[in-house]
Amino acid sequence: MSDVGQSEADLVDAFREAMRHVAATVYAVTTIDNGNRYGILATAVSSLSFEPPSLLVCVNRTASLHDPLERAERFCVNVLGLGNRDVAEHFMIPHADRFAVGEWEDHHGTPMLTSAQSSLVCRTVHRHVFGTHTIFIGELLAAKHRQDATPLTYFDRNYIDISAAPQRSEHGD
């Protein structure tokens, strides 16, 4: 039992249900290992620091990307936009060539989706194992961003369109 009286199984179920209701941007995290491209969809990505510019990416150790990412020196975080839903859906097909959908180019030794909202190429500077995942910390090497893209967002097992969200004025009012 936990401190609040829930069994471990109940606590995990409650955590899973709570996290399903947190809207999250969808990322295609990619790398190249021994000349082969690897990638997965992820939502556990976060900016870490501006000095130096860096990100953290959390990858389950059973994911197909994990071992190649463990060996790779670089990775790319492709922030998917609404127009990349086909890429996201294709990445979810087991054993598919994940790079068969979308236009991919190799930049700095990583696969970059040319139509992504943003693409952030990182050099892996630290790895930390915690629970079922490895936290990869990457220092930014290159970045590109499209001003006209709306992020692909995942909420409660569905992709949602947040383009109708209220706009803020230029002055943040």
Residue pLDDT, tens place only, 9-66? 878 778 777 777 777 889 999 999 999 999 999 989 999 999 999 999 999 999 999 9
Question: Going by C-beta distance under 8 Å and a sequence separation of 6 or more, which residues neighbour residue 102?
Answer: 84, 86, 87, 90, 113, 114, 115
Residue bearing the bigger pLDDT, 23 or 98: 98
Bridge-based pairing state of the strands 118-130 and 74-79: antiparallel
The per-residue pLDDT for 127 is: 97
Rg of the chain, C-alpha, whole Å? 17
The per-residue pLDDT for 158 is: 81
How far apart are alpha carbons 10 and 82 in whole angstroms? 35
How much is the average pLDDT of 104-119?
95
Average of per-residue pLDDT values in the chain: 89
How much is the average pLDDT of 114-129?
96
**pLDDT category of residue 165 using cuts at 50, 70 and 90:** low
